[in-house]
Amino acid sequence: VEEVLGVGAVKKDEVAGSGGKKGGQDEEGDEDMADAHLLADDGPGVTNIDLRPKYMTPMEVEAMMKELWAKEWHLLSYVFGPGTGGGEYGGAVHAGKAGYVPGPAARPGGGPEAKGGYRMFFLRTLPVAPNKFRPPSKVGEEMFEHPQNVNLGKILTACLDMANDGPVKLPETAAGTTPGTGPDLAALRAAHLGRMVGNWLKLQDAVAALMDSTLAENNAGGGQGIRQALEKKEGLFRKNMMGKRVNFAARSVISPDPYIGCGEIGIPPYFAKRLCFPEPVTPWNVERLRASVLRGPHALNGAVAVEDEYGRLVSLATLDRTRVEGLAKTLLANSTDAKTTGAGKAGGAAGGGAHKQELPKLRPNKIVYRHLQDGDLMLTNRQPTLHKPGLMAHRARVLKGEKTIRMHYANCSTFNADFDGDEINLHLPQDQLGRAEGYTIVHADQQFIVPTDGKPIRGLIQDHVVAGVLLCCRDTWLSRDQYTQLVYLACAEWRARGAGGGDREGPVLEPPAMLKPRTLWAGRQVVSSVLTYYTRGLPPLTFEVGGKVPADYWGRTGEHHMLFHKGYFVSGTVDKAAFGKFGLVHAVQELYGNTAAGRLLSAFSRLFTAYLQWHGFTCGFDDLLLVAAAE
């Protein structure tokens, strides 16, 4: 560096000049030009500090970082992670090589090789993407360079300027002049140093513009950096990669539907007829798949193609009705090839007439690419995916006449979604292994709590909370017809064929709470019947939690505590606290599992929606005005 800059032979008094200020010299021999005006001698013990910003070269910063790592390498290896030390450029460089075994430096607090971890902050070689990924753009008849090429060109220009501006050469003595009376050597070296520092700053600015355009001080015409090309909605991940050019996927606006299950997703017929699943033909599903083939590609629950045992794909859209019927009849044909050899026949005749038959020669089954059906598994995702439950699995339910994707309210918190135009992505897994993972570990009912702190993230809001409070008030009484109808709406899961079916055993009805003058049931008895139905065969629930409504709002009776005793709802209301942390649904999840909590949420959603339609609830502008006394 001294040879390039030409400052190795500069004396202190030459740098200080006539002002009497002294510059410093580090142990490398580099002159610290900026220190010449930092300190001034105004007398014994008097020092004035110049607070103007000082430019530090990367070599100075690297020297300081090297000393810091030499003393605090053990702590810094934990702060900045493993693999930052060892070798010429740190152990992380070799991590991708075949046969590389990480040494002690590749572990936090590793060996002394980790002292070289400071090198990760300094860039010595700049990787350049191939020309294929930096194509020129054409606007009209003019060609424009790729924005990255502009920044790369600035980097090359700055490097060439630094290389061409070599060490300071002594000027030749002009004819007729006395040696020493020519141009001032110190001035030449100072000018040369200024040019080198300027080129160095240009190089750093160009590299910063290539990486992150917001860090560059002068980025006129340089375009966006690599960071800007990746982040935000206009970046490569969200604009080009996520949900784009993906087979067996769909994307549309979401709408609320309180009558589907929390673990279900409503699919429009437009998507159901275009998303297909390859299902192998077996003796157990041949009749169902044969019916799908006969329906064809243009009817719901149909099929789009059939793959034969030789791997040939036959599209049903190009076949006439006769060929489609013939193909449907031969779905299970030629799946096995059993032959009886002549030796087997002879041996059988000699041994008592028993024929020996070879094992059947198995052939691959035919595969029917059927339409999406009720009960199929769909992976749902809403961007941005900020946590693990941002990708969940739902059972599909094809809703006729719909144009948008229908989703339950309980999933809004998980996806951070509302219904003001939000869109959601759907992906249909194409193998049984992916479906098995979706039905178990990835299913929406299994994402009841957040992995970070264990708090529940699913629950019912707004209208359901209002209906829960109204239904569970002490003065809410129901006739037998009303009571049985509400229990039926909550416990009869509205699932179509293929989505799990229903239960043969119905709910157990409770005896009336009032006999005279009329036979009536309390509103909270509906909640008891629903909870008993979904936890039948299990130990009953005894549970108590405080409510959201203050105690003085209820008067002397006191309904601010929810109390369950052996499965019976004794007192309290189903308010917002019942769906939150340590509430009723959280207790069911802790005691009976995620599936029971998901089914209970779906039941409460149907129950409270139906009751609110019966009872009625309005909230208008008059409810927001202060009464005369309050004014």
Q: What is the CATH number of the domain that holds 491?
A: 1.10.274.100
User: Is residue 102's pLDDT more than 60?
Assistant: no
More confident residue, 102 or 434: 434
In a domain, 611, yes or no: yes
pLDDT at position 169, please?
A: 63
In a domain, 588, yes or no: yes
In a domain, 271, yes or no: no
Q: How high is the mean pLDDT of the chain?
A: 76
Pairwise CA distance, residues 553 & 291, whole Å: 61
Pairwise CA distance, residues 530 & 602, whole Å: 11
Indicate the pairing of strand 477-478 with strand 521-522: antiparallel
**Is 0.85 topped by the overall pTM?**
no
Predicted confidence (pLDDT) per residue in 272-320, tens digit:
999 999 999 989 989 999 999 999 899 989 999 999 888 888 889 888 8
Find out whether 407 and 261 touch, Cβ atoms under 8 Å: no
Contacts of 407 (CB under 8 A, 6+ apart): 254, 255, 256, 257, 265, 266, 380, 417, 424
pLDDT at position 12, please?
A: 36
Domain termination site, one of 188, 220, 244: 244
In a domain, 276, yes or no: no
More confident residue, 167 or 277: 277
Domain termination site, one of 210, 244, 278: 244
Beta strands in 361-496 (DSSP E): 361-362, 367-371, 377-381, 391-398, 405-407, 423-427, 477-478
Pairwise CA distance, residues 297 & 308, whole Å: 17
Integer CA distances (angstroms), 386 to 86, 236, 312, 425, 507, in order: 35, 17, 42, 15, 40
Backbone angles phi and psi of 341, in degrees to 5: -75, 160
pLDDT at position 231, please?
A: 77
pLDDT at position 420, please?
A: 85
Helix axes 147-164, 185-211, angle to 10 degrees: 160
pLDDT at position 319, please?
A: 87
Q: How many Cα atoms occupy the beta-carbon half-sphere of 563 within 13 Å?
A: 7
Place of tokens 């046969």: 99
pLDDT at position 265, please?
A: 92
Structural domains in the chain (count): 2
In a domain, 21, yes or no: no
Q: Which residues of 517-554 are buried (b: 16+ CB within 10 A; e: fewer)?
A: eeebbbbbbbbbbbbbbbbeeeeebebebebebeeeeb
In a domain, 272, yes or no: no
- Assign 3-state DSSP to the chain and report helix, strand, coil percentages, each to 5: 40, 15, 45
Return the amino acid letter for 615: H
Paired tokens of 145: 């360079």
* Poorest-pLDDT segment among 117-121, 122-126, 169-173, 346-350: 346-350
Q: Which domain holds residue 150?
A: 126-165+196-244
* Poorest-pLDDT segment among 109-113, 268-272, 567-571: 109-113
In a domain, 232, yes or no: yes
SS (H, E, C) 148-167: HHHHHHHHHHHHHHHHHCCC
Predicted confidence (pLDDT) per residue in 320-377, tens digit:
889 988 888 888 876 555 444 444 444 444 444 445 556 565 667 889 999 999 989 9
> What stretch of H or E contains 189?
helix 185-211
In a domain, 269, yes or no: no
Pairwise CA distance, residues 316 & 366, whole Å: 14
Omega before 384 within 30 of 0, i.e. cis: yes
DSSP labels, 438-472: HHTTSBGGG--B-TTT--B-----THHHHHHHHHT
> What stretch of H or E contains 325?
helix 321-329
> What stretch of H or E contains 38?
none
